[in-house]
Amino acid sequence: MTLRQCANIIIEDYIKTRSIDETVKNTDMPKGMVQGILWNKGFIDDESNDLGVDIHLAKKKDDFFILEGPEAFCLHLDVDTDGISDSDRKILMEKGKSNDGTISRDITIPSHFTLHQLNYAIQAAFGWKNSHMHNFTMDEDAFERITQSKFKKWSELCGVYFRFPDEDDEDLYWDDDYGESDDLKKVFASRYIGPYVYGAMGDYYLENQQKLVNFIKEREGEVEEELDGIRGIESFEESHKNLIESLKVSDVLVPKDRRKPTFEELESNLVQPILHGPKTDLNDDLEKYEAVKKNLMDVLKSREKIDELISQGIFDVVTTWNQQMDEASHAYQEFVDNSEPPRMPVADLLRYEYDFGDGWAVKVTFADCYYDDSKYEINDKGIRETTKLVIHNSSNEVVDDKMADVIKNTINNLKPYCIEANGVNLIDDIGGIVGFIEMLKNDNETTDNLEIDDLNSIL
């Protein structure tokens, strides 16, 4: 069933029952979804809309509204310059080509853009080289609101939003498989242009839950109620807030004018269905997951023996191994994909940290959402063509032609575009924002080479 069909069913049922609870019961839809649709239609007032769901609606002939999601977003990327002096901001304005003493970028992204892709887009947008570690976290208020600083509450969201803290950097940075001689612009572009494909086991819900179960078993009696009291993993107090990077940006981030769900609302709409719903039993899923994962790992390990046989001139084993590998990887992928939980956006702001020694940080917020209301027709070659390009923003205003073209390209090409840049490109291994400003103060020639880069388009 499509989202549009869901919306129509909800509206039709509410017209008959005039009861939100009855509609929830009759349609078996999450309460927040029902309230969001009815609020946008005007059936209920603003105070009744518990979640403030961001929903775009378009009118049909029968005067019903149907649900449509945004096809693209605009993100504001703001380098964290909190704490620098007024004189330092003046340096950024005079030598750093900044309009207001900050360094920022506005980029458009397709609706299914992931945090993994956003990492490479941020690197390209600010001129970094992705030569150090990074992470994404949600703003502290959102983290406190949905976890209540309790280990049990956090554990229920481990694999939903948060990555289990371990030291498997090879899995975390699985896509950084390029050399120093490679063209970084091309490398980054190949990573942030869709479609997106998973490449890390640690991105999956069941992998995180399996690690969590093992962690609790190994430290029976040591796991305390408060998150700050967790012992056993040295970096737990820091990295337990790190987000899974296969998450779509819109899985986590919401516009500032919307109210975020409380833990109780999150639990009733997401956690309860995951842990206690009719779909599956978590313990059974973990047992099955261990089996399909072990099968995949066994096939991967057998590659060494296959290579040895090949070196001896025995080649017929390759076909058999390839078939086993295809079957094992397909079984694993299908199982983990079907076990992924639903998510809802919970945070006002995402924080991207890069090069923990230098302390670079970028604050990520939604600037706008875009909806494609263009007119299309199929030509005689069977290709869809735009007959009238119409893009609306979140205020239901039609954007100008230039912006409409960017949004159309963002949607069709599955890639980000930089539409505004404030300040020059940054540098790796310079000492963070403080060191960068010191360089601007002391080197008059360097700033001439710090051109503002783009993601193929700056308006």
Question: In a 3-state reduction of DSSP, which class is residue 197?
Answer: coil
Of 348, 292, 291, 446, the C-alpha closest to 76 is 348
Structure tokens at 19: 């009861």
Phi and psi based region of residue 382 (left: phi greater than 0; alpha: psi -120 to 50; beta: remaining): left
What is the rounded average pLDDT of the residues 90-100?
Answer: 93
| Type of residue at 457 | S
206 vs 293: CA distance, rounded Å:
11
What would the pLDDT profile of 309-331 be if each residue is shown by its tens digit?
777 777 777 888 888 888 998 99
Of 125, 98, 119, 334, the C-alpha closest to 242 is 119
pLDDT at 457 over 80: no
Say which residues have a Cβ less than 8 Å from residue 448's Cβ, sequence separation at least 6. Answer: none
363 vs 139: CA distance, rounded Å:
9
141 vs 260: CA distance, rounded Å:
10
pLDDT of residue 132: 94
* Measured CA distances, 344 to 197, 248, 254, 408 (Å): 21, 10, 9, 26
What is the rounded average pLDDT of the residues 71-92?
Answer: 95
What would the pLDDT profile of 342-401 be if each residue is shown by its tens digit?
888 889 899 999 999 999 999 999 999 898 888 877 777 766 677 888 998 888 789 999
pLDDT higher at 78 or 453: 78
107 vs 401: CA distance, rounded Å:
17
- Residue 312 burial (CB < 10 Å; 0-12/13-18/19+)? exposed
What is the rounded average pLDDT of the residues 2-27?
Answer: 72
